[in-house]
Amino acid sequence: MPSFPALLRDDVTEAEAERLQGEFKARVQLRPLPMPRTATGVDIAYQTTSSAAAVAAAVTVAIPSMKLIETAQVAGSCPFPYVPGLLAFRELNLVSRALQTLDQPVEVLLYDGHGIAHPRRFGAASQLGLAFGIPSIGCAKNRFHGSMAGGLEAGRFATAPIRDDATGEVLGVAMRMQDNAKPVYVSPGHLADIASAVEIVKACAGGSRLPEPIRQADATARKHVRFFEE
């Protein structure tokens, strides 16, 4: 059960959502996280016929084999609008319902979104991790806050820091999961630090641009959202 259910609400105003992020961001803890035995990826797929109907999926795999351990999916509604910086309030209520149907304890969450690489240092991965008191890592397909410092080499697992434009603080890294692939943007969410986040995401590499737990969660959500559309 979540420790802070207010962070999973989707019935708030934009102003209330920003207030909650400002209130809870100081509770985020960044610290070394030993390599877990499993990782759980979460993602959402939206129906093409509706702006709110969606399926959330959670997929747990073993590290380092990436063997599938458990999957869960929940269909529902995401009534909060898409607002940059407030993705958590659109998605986490449904995602949390999928997580709570898993039988196995979650050791670390990988979210297709950002952790502290966020204007208020409290992206969806941070919000989800804090809500449940579980280590979490953001691994997004697009950079949202901060700038990449220097170039990014072409090789697999090449990294470049992402720095806050105003303070110069390192918020995470851009990292290629495959040779010459577009990078993903990794930042710690909660109960992990940057170095731990990078090593865990590396350990979850499969054959695609995304870490395997997120790739499988994305595929599961897409499969089931198509089922509900048919």
CA nearest neighbour of 10 among 42, 48, 56, 65: 56
Q: What is the pLDDT of residue 224?
A: 86
Q: What is the CA radius of gyration of the chain?
A: 16
So what's the pLDDT on residue 228?
56
Could you tell me which residues are beta bridge partners of residue 40? 60, 109
CA–CA separation, 101 and 220 (whole Å): 15
- Taking the mean position of all CA atoms in its chain, how far away is CA 121? 14
Helices (H), ranges, 76-208: 87-99, 124-132, 194-203
Give the CA angle between residues 93, 140, 21 to the nearest 5°. Answer: 45
pLDDT for 1 equals 78
Q: Which of 105, 46, 101 is nearest to 71 (CA)?
A: 101
pLDDT of residue 227: 62
Tokens of 204: 């979850």
Residues paired with residue 139 on neighbouring β-strands, in sequence order: 186
pLDDT score, position 9: 96
Residue 51: per-residue pLDDT: 73
The whole-number pLDDT of residue 167 equals: 94
Displacement of CA 136 from its chain's centroid (Å): 7
Q: Which mean pLDDT values do the consecutive 10-residue runs of the chain (230 residues) have?
A: 93 97 97 98 88 92 97 95 95 97 97 96 98 98 92 94 95 96 97 98 95 97 74
By the 8 A CB rule, do 194 and 182 touch?
Answer: no
**Model confidence over 86-115: pLDDT tens digits?**
999 999 999 999 999 999 999 999 999 999
Assess contact for 73 and 224: CB atoms under 8 A: yes
CA–CA separation, 179 vs 154, rounded Å?
6
Q: What domain range is 209 assigned to?
A: 5-229
Encoded amino acid at 75, one letter:
A
Q: Determine the distance from the C-alpha atom of residue 209 to the mean position of all C-alpha atoms in its chain, rounded to a whole number.
A: 15
Q: How far apart are CA 9 and CA 48, in angstroms?
A: 24
**CA atoms within a 13 Å half-sphere pointing along the CA-CB vector of 21:** 24
Cα–Cα distance, 102 to 40 (Å, whole number): 10
CATH of the domain at 202: 3.30.2170.10
Q: How many domains are there within the chain?
A: 1
The crossing angle, in degrees rounded to 10, of helices 124-132 and 87-99 is 40
CB 105 within 8 A of CB 36: no
pLDDT at 83 (0 to 100):
95
Residue 226: its pLDDT value, please?
Answer: 74
Within 8 A by CB and 6+ apart from 83, the residues are: 14, 17, 89, 90
